[in-house]
Amino acid sequence: MDFELTEDQVTIRDAVTDVAKRFDDDYWMHKDLDKEFPTEFYDAMAEGGWLGITTPEEYGGHGFGITEACLLIEAVAASGGGMNAASAIHLSIFGMHPVIVHGSEEMKQQNLPRIVNGDLHVCFGVTEPDAGLDTTRITTFAKRDGDHYVVNGKKVWISKAMESEKILLLTRTAKFEDSPKKTDGLTLFFTNLDRSAIDVRPIKKMGRNAVSSNELFIDNLQIPVEDRIGDEGTGFKYILDGLNPERMLVAAEALGIGRAALRAGVQYGKDRHVFGRPIGMNQGIQFPLAESLARLDAAELMLRKATWLYDKGLPCAKEANMAKYLCADAGFEAADRALQTHGGMGYSEEYHVARYFREARLLRIAPLSQEMVLNYIGEHVLGMPRSY
């Protein structure tokens, strides 16, 4: 069992860290408070070629695996950019997996190089207000009409829709009640986010405000048949291909935020003097931070196992879900304890831990809640009866 990173992996982590260092906490604070997309950061990552880390080389990418992608995204989050930084590039790094695996050659040639060089922003439209995580119950419908589809419906919590030119859109092409299996009748498209047929409305939220989350109201959107990914009615299978890697990427983001928060908490414990001594001398301050490091390092081991399994082509659903659960909890706990270490100043924006706290909290909810991870483990790993 070898825990040492390869030379390429070390190079990736260090190079991305160097890029991310150019964007300090003040940069991210102002982007978050002003609700402004971090264009300068996004462009710097594109210029370095990092948006294409998992894209095959024939389309301008590097062709690395999910392990390298997780090292990259963890370094980005750990720099202090947190979820604002990670979400700005997340979909470009791995969100196009259904296109890479199942899209037509023409679709790949036209779009993947543009995603790699940063020219093309994309978003992912799956979640709906009345379906939540029960994806089979979505109602956005694509009706075939000759050489195109006409789509009507609504989506919610769509990241980067404000900036995106294209959308990876999951629809129904057969109603739930008319489908032999509940996962049948779902069709996936990669198409233009046409503002004349899609009303994009930002959602006010408690954190990660540099990257928008949006509601989409779709009214007679025209989608050419050639924008369909794979066969009609099999879209659910295509999005499943990307679920385990997505959990790993989110786990890496949580890990990175936790490490940024812990770093801030430790530094404050050294710098802040009360009653003639640094507060970090007190075990009541020191022990929670030390425990957070132990939990972050333990969660990292599960993440590394999950990415290793995926890159080897081995079953990894248990490990991917556990990594998401453990990293999200460890990252949030580290952020919470760092904020507590700062006392009243932790509640201000000056020391940035409040932002870490808000963003770390998100990862216990998205892209699926901790409770849904436990549902999966209970049913599919422990063999217990389905609970929902």
Q: Report whether pLDDT(2) > 90.
A: no
- 47 and 110 Cβ atoms separated by less than 8 Å: no
| Separation between Cα atoms, residue 366 and residue 257, nearest integer Å | 15
Q: What are 147's two structure tokens?
A: 């050489």
Q: What is the pLDDT of residue 388?
A: 85
pLDDT tens digits, one per residue of 129-186: 999 889 999 999 999 999 999 999 999 999 999 999 999 999 999 999 999 999 999 9
Q: What is the pLDDT of residue 94?
A: 86
Q: What are 324's two structure tokens?
A: 């998401």
Query: Could you name the CATH architecture of 7-116?
Result: Orthogonal Bundle (1.10)
* Mean pLDDT across 59-77: 97
| Separation between Cα atoms, residue 154 and residue 140, nearest integer Å | 6
Domain boundaries, the chain: 7-116, 122-232, 240-381
Q: What is the pLDDT of residue 66?
A: 96
Q: What is the pLDDT of residue 242?
A: 86
Residues near 4 by beta carbon (within 8 Å), at least 6 away in sequence: none
pLDDT tens digits, one per residue of 253-304: 999 999 999 999 999 999 999 999 999 999 999 999 999 999 999 999 999 9
| Separation between Cα atoms, residue 280 and residue 173, nearest integer Å | 60
* Mean pLDDT across 68-82: 98
Provide the pairing of β-strand 277-278 with 166-172: unpaired
Give the CATH fold of the 122-232 domain: Butyryl-CoA Dehydrogenase, subunit A; domain 2 (2.40.110)
17-21, 93-97, 305-309 — which is least confidently predicted? 93-97
Q: Report whether pLDDT(95) > 90.
A: no
- Residue that has been written with the tokens 């109602």 in this structure: 139
pLDDT tens digits, one per residue of 209-234: 999 999 999 999 999 999 999 999 99
Written as one letter, the residue type at 60 is G
CATH number listed for the domain at residues 240-381: 1.20.140.10
| Separation between Cα atoms, residue 336 and residue 323, nearest integer Å | 20
Written as one letter, the residue type at 176 is F
Nearest CA-CA partner of 351 in 333, 360, 361, 339: 339
Q: What is the pLDDT of residue 295?
A: 98
pLDDT tens digits, one per residue of 184-197: 999 999 999 999 99
Q: Say how many residues make up the chain.
A: 388
Q: Report whether pLDDT(337) > 80.
A: yes
Q: Report whether pLDDT(380) > 80.
A: yes
Q: Report whether pLDDT(1) > 80.
A: no
φ, ψ at 202 (rounded to 5°) = -65, 145
| Separation between Cα atoms, residue 54 and residue 90, nearest integer Å | 11
Nearest CA-CA partner of 358 in 387, 332, 376, 320: 332
Mean pLDDT computed over every residue of the chain: 96
Enter the pTM of the model. Answer: 0.95
